[in-house]
Amino acid sequence: MAERGYLHHNHLESFKEWLVKDEWILQKIKGEYEVLRAVKNGKKRPLIIYTKSNAKEHYSVDYRDWGVIKAFMRDYKEGKNDT
């Protein structure tokens, strides 16, 4: 299941930088709807962020990846991402 409305389009570049600092490896996206694909040691599946052609403000995030997004948003709000 995916949830739209959690990662705003304006946060994508900051999220990528945060992922790299957290030892994620960014990969080449696949398909026309993916905007980010990343892997990390110890994770079975890649983290994938995608959009729909009619998405105005937010990207879609699979429910299993909400914890990563929430950690980013927490750090972002606390100013821990240095961006």
The helix (run of H) or strand (run of E) holding residue 53 is none
Contacts (Cβ under 8 Å, ≥6 apart) of 4: 52, 55, 58, 59, 60, 61
The CA radius of gyration of the chain, in Å to the nearest whole number, is 12
Return the structure tokens found at 21: 């600092």
2-78: CATH architecture: 2-Layer Sandwich (3.30)
Q: Give the C-alpha separation, 26 to 56, whole Å.
A: 24
More confident residue, 83 or 37: 37
Whole-structure pTM value: 0.84
Q: What is the pLDDT of residues 4-58, one digit of tens each?
A: 557 889 999 999 999 999 999 999 999 999 999 999 999 999 999 998 777 678 8
Q: Taking 80 as the threshold, does the pLDDT of residue 68 lie above it? A: yes
